[in-house]
Chain A
């Protein structure tokens, strides 16, 4: 049997073992739900234009046009409905209507609301009341209210910008944060699973039987690949759900190429980051014989991933193409989390390619070191194997 077929067998077992656990299905569903919930939250807190529902009675139905026009100016969509007074009151009470306008007199727009009038609606209705008063006054002075209204509506601010403004900055921050959190969480989970798998085999000594039949590197490769295939499938599902959900609900109005590109980069960088950190984690895990000790040897890697995320939410969000962000996104320890967070803002292709090349080199070096440590340590049971001994000696 050739070497790669053996790796394939080990990978296959690993994938099956992961998929068959209850926690796998639960975790996948939870993560997708979490992403969709975040999108829903963005939608609720005003990702898109606000809509207000206003009821008009027969005596106020003539205000409809003005309400819509003023609403548009304030980026508020006004849904109108003509109702009887009784109907309107019950709809306001049930929440179907935000407000019911019942009449205008003495410079007041009489309005019924359930508990309180929202600020956006107060603004619109106040503007209407002021217009009403203005029209009355103009008529009294012998002027033509319509021509005055028209002239006023043309008044505005003429703006000259010195730099092209990023109209989507808030959205980019949102997307970048979600990508950062997901890459961070998935990396943590994936390398933890890899480490646990290594310790499991070492602690119950099955590794002694396995290594009488396969080479250490085959076992290590199969373990890393198996867990990797399963978690990358989860990441693709989550990234796709997020990208589709965000586009479909209109929460993100960034170009779909940018959203797709950022999602693809999130998947790519998860893969690279996973390979890098998983082989190191597997090597660290091979030093210990009990699951309880795994946290201690894995701490350096989890700390580095946490640090990457913190770099992302501070430096990248403050200045995505600043020199600190640019450099750190190419340092292999950090790039798996920092680079995809920058992707939401758009990153020059050469920077992405350079970072990928550096990362691949780092993965190669990590794999050689990890293979050496794993080979020397995984059969030494009992107390924790010293890293120096594992790098140097033979069992």
Chain B
């Protein structure tokens, strides 16, 4: 269980996070949605130690997250980070070894195969298309077989085939009892993949729950959708929530 507990973060004059809390259970895919600048990336960076919260705590299996725990997390930052002039296989092996994987060659080859990267395995990363670089980025996050995946916008810039591969990998991770949390603006995908969804606005979690629960919460608050759909999509719910009181 990942517990993000009342995170606060201020950047100069701007309050980026005001008591953000969420939990992700084992076997659960959690979708983190919100407008640009709402606080998704800051929250994820705090989980990964790339930023420090002013207050609040992040726990994994009941213990505050430290470096030893972070080494068991797979992370895909918002801005992709790979060594441009390193070969795909060498890069994956390097990250496997940094995370203490003994059989780094096997781990690298496994993800090269699963993400259909065989033909690029011995190319420098910079020579790959952006979509393929993204697959390498995902492989980097997965190569040490993490218990928890924290992915910032994993679907941005992917072609439909790559979206399917990525979706399948995330669902498979959850099926085997791992936790996945990812942010995305592609709400149809979030609705399809996620067990639970959290909506953040201006550093505050405004809604959290299954898509069904969100529907009830939004519709129950007296809001009547303009188009009156029987089952508003997450996209529509999101627009409603973000538009309220702003």
Report A's interface with B, CB cutoff 8 A. Answer: 1, 6, 9-10, 13, 16-17, 20-21, 200-201, 204-215, 379, 381, 394-395
B140/A209 in contact, CB under 8 A: yes
B100/A208 in contact, CB under 8 A: no
Number of interface residues, chain B, beta carbon within 8 A: 30
Report B's interface with A, CB cutoff 8 A. Answer: 45, 48-52, 67, 70-71, 73, 75, 77-86, 90, 94-95, 97-100, 140-141
B50/A211 in contact, CB under 8 A: yes
Instruction: Give complex CA distance A394, B97 in Å.
Output: 29
Given the known A-B contacts A204-B80, A204-B84, A209-B81, are A379 and B97 also in contact in the complex, defined by CB atoms under 8 Å? Answer: no
Q: Please give, as numbers and ranges, the residues of chain B lying within 8 Å of A211 by CB-CB distance.
A: 49-50
Instruction: Give complex CA distance A215, B49 in Å.
Output: 11
Instruction: Give complex CA distance A210, B91 in Å.
Output: 12
Instruction: Give complex CA distance A272, B246 in Å.
Output: 60
Main secondary structure of the interface of B (DSSP, over half): loop
Residue of A nearest to B70 (CB): A212
A204/B50 in contact, CB under 8 A: no
Instruction: Give complex CA distance A204, B86 in Å.
Output: 14
Q: Of B50, B98, B100, B141, which one neighbours A379 at CB under 8 angstroms?
A: B50
B180 to chain A: closest CB distance in Å? 16
Instruction: Give complex CA distance A395, B82 in Å.
Output: 22
A395/B51 in contact, CB under 8 A: yes
Residue of A nearest to B50 (CB): A208
Q: Please give, as numbers and ranges, the residues of chain B lying within 8 Å of A13 by CB-CB distance.
A: 86, 94
Q: Of A206, A213, A214, which one neighbours B81 at CB under 8 angstroms?
A: A206
A205/B98 in contact, CB under 8 A: no
A388 to chain B: closest CB distance in Å? 16
A212/B50 in contact, CB under 8 A: yes
Given the known A-B contacts A17-B86, A394-B52, are A208 and B81 also in contact in the complex, defined by CB atoms under 8 Å? Answer: yes
Residue of A nearest to B82 (CB): A206
Interface hub of A13, A215, A381 (most chain B Cβ within 10 A): A13
Q: Of B75, B78, B84, B98, which one neighbours A9 at CB under 8 angstroms?
A: B98
Residue of B nearest to A215 (CB): B67
B45/A208 in contact, CB under 8 A: yes
A379/B51 in contact, CB under 8 A: yes
Residue of A nearest to B51 (CB): A395
A354 to chain B: closest CB distance in Å? 40
Instruction: Give complex CA distance A20, B80 in Å.
Output: 23
A213/B82 in contact, CB under 8 A: no
